Amino acid sequence: MLENIIAKIESLDENAMAAAKARQNTLTKPAGSLGRLEELSIQLAGISGKEIPEINDKVIITMAGDHGVVEEGVSAFSQEVTPQMVMNFLYGGAAINVLAKHVGARITIVDMGVVVEMEPHPALVVKKIAQGTANMTKGPAMTQERAEEAILAGVNVVESEIKKGLDIVGTGDMGIGNTTPSAAIAAVLTGIAPAKLAGRGTGVDDEGLKRKIDAIERALEVNKPDPKDGLDILAKVGGFEIAGLVGVILGAAANRKAVMVDGFISTAAAMIAVSIAPEVRAYLISAHRSQEYGHSQMIEWLGLKPLVDLDFCLGEGTGAALGISFAEAACKILAEMATFADAGVSDKE
C-alpha cells in the first residue's frame, strides 16, 4: 500500500505554474515586488494544477505519541504531560487552538502512540500503534512493520480530511521527548554530529542537554540506521507521531495538496518523507525557522526557505497555522488583484 501511495505522487503542473507566473506579471505592481507571496502562489498553482489556486479548507493535523528514550532523562517534563496536552487540544485551550481559529483552520487531533489509554472524546482520532516507542538507546524504537503501519495510518487520516474538503494541510505534533528522535533523524540524514543538532527542546538544563546528545549518539551506534533508507531510519530512531506525519505528507502529496511544515519535529517527518519519496519535496512549504538548535540545517537539507522566523519552539502546528495564512494571502493576491489592463494603469516606464 505504501508503494501505491508513493507511485501517485506526481511532478508539479508546469503549465499551471507558467500561467500563474504570467498573471503575476500583469498585476498592478512591479514584477516580483511581493517576493515570497508571488513564489508561493506559483508553487500552489503547480501543486493544485490550477492557474489560480484557492485555499478555503484549511486543516491542521496534530499527532501525539510518546517515546521510550525519555528514560534517559532527555526532557524537562514527564510523559504525563503528553496526554494532558492532548486533552487541552481537545477542549480548545492550547496555542494551536487559538492560532487555528485565528486563520480559520480546523484541527484534527490524533493519538498515534500516547503512553496511556486516552479518555474517549468524539474529536480524538485514535490510530494508536502502541503505548509509546521503545527506548532507542537499547535497540530500535519500533519494528519496520509498525513504522509502515503508522505511516499508512497518517495517510488514512489525511485522506479522510481530504474527503471532507482540504486545500492545504499543516503538520503538528505533541510528544514529550520527541525532539530527541527528531535530532537523531536529522543526524542520520545530514551527517551532522548530534551535538550540533540537538537543542534544549522543552528547556533542559546543561546536564539534560548532555544526556540528550549522549542518548542520540548511543542510539545511532546501537541501531546503525541506513541513511539511504528512510523507513529504516524511522523505525530505528523515530516515533509514532513522526511516522504518522510522514503519512500525512505522503498522502497529501499523492492527492495534490500542499503541506505547510511546522517546526523541528514536523521537519524531521518531512525529511523522512522526502527520503522515501523525493518527489514530495515540491509539495512542502516551510512555515518558519524554529528556535530549536538544528532546525536551520534540516530546512537547508530539504532545500526549503522558511516563510518567517518568530523564535517559535512550541510545535503543535502553531507555526504551520500562521504559514497557512501566508499561503491563503498568496492565492488571494493572484486571484483578486487587478491587472494593469483591468485598472487602466500603464505598465510602461
Q: What are phi and psi of 317, to 5 degrees?
A: 105, 10
* 216, β-bridge pairs: none
Segment 225-254 shows an average pLDDT of 98
Burial class (CB in 10 A: 0-12, 13-18, 19+), 102: exposed
Q: What percentage of the chain exceeds 90 in pLDDT? A: 95
Q: Is the pLDDT of residue 160 over 70?
A: yes
| Residue positions annotated with a catalytic role | 316
Cα–Cα distance measured from residue 25 to residue 289, given in angstroms and rounded to the nearest whole number: 29
Per-residue model confidence (pLDDT) at position 296 = 97
At residue 1, the pLDDT reads 87
Looking at the predicted structure, is the pLDDT value of residue 98 above 90? yes
The CATH number of the domain covering residues in 2-53+333-343: 1.10.1610.10
pLDDT tens sequence across 269-326: 999 999 999 999 999 999 999 999 899 999 999 999 999 999 999 999 999 999 999 9
Separation of alpha carbons 156 and 187, rounded Å: 29
> Whole-number mean pLDDT of the chain?
97
Query: Helices (H) and strands (E) in the chain — how many of each?
Result: 14, 6
pLDDT greater than 80 at residue 347: no
Q: Is the pLDDT of residue 256 over 80?
A: yes
Domain with CATH 3.40.50.10210 in the chain: 58-326
Q: What fold characterizes domain 58-326? A: Rossmann fold (3.40.50)
Q: Mean pLDDT, to the nearest integer, of 116-120?
A: 94
75, pLDDT greater than 70 = yes
Distance CA 265, CA 174 (A): 9
Output the pLDDT for position 245. Answer: 98
**Which pLDDT score is estimated for 349?**
58
More confident position, 87 or 346:
87
pLDDT of the residue at 15 = 98
Sorted by sequence, the CB contacts under 8 Å of residue 15 that are 6+ apart come out as none
Lowest-confidence segment of 64-68, 124-128, 271-275, 345-349 by average pLDDT: 345-349
pLDDT for 244 equals 98
Average pLDDT over residues 204-224: 96
Mean pLDDT of 38-62: 98
The 168-174 sheet, strands edge to edge: 124-126, 105-113, 58-65, 168-174, 258-261, 284-286
DSSP letters for 145-185: HHHHHHHHHHHHHHHHHHHH--SEEEEEEE-TTTHHHHHHH
State pTM to two decimals: 0.97
In the chain, ranges of CATH 1.10.1610.10 domains: 2-53+333-343
> Under a CB-based contact definition with an 8 Å cutoff, are residues 38 and 32 in contact?
yes
Q: What is the pLDDT confidence band of residue 345, given thresholds at 50, 70 and 90?
A: confident
Confidence category of residue 202, pLDDT binned at 50, 70, 90: confident
| pLDDT (mean) for 85-111 | 98
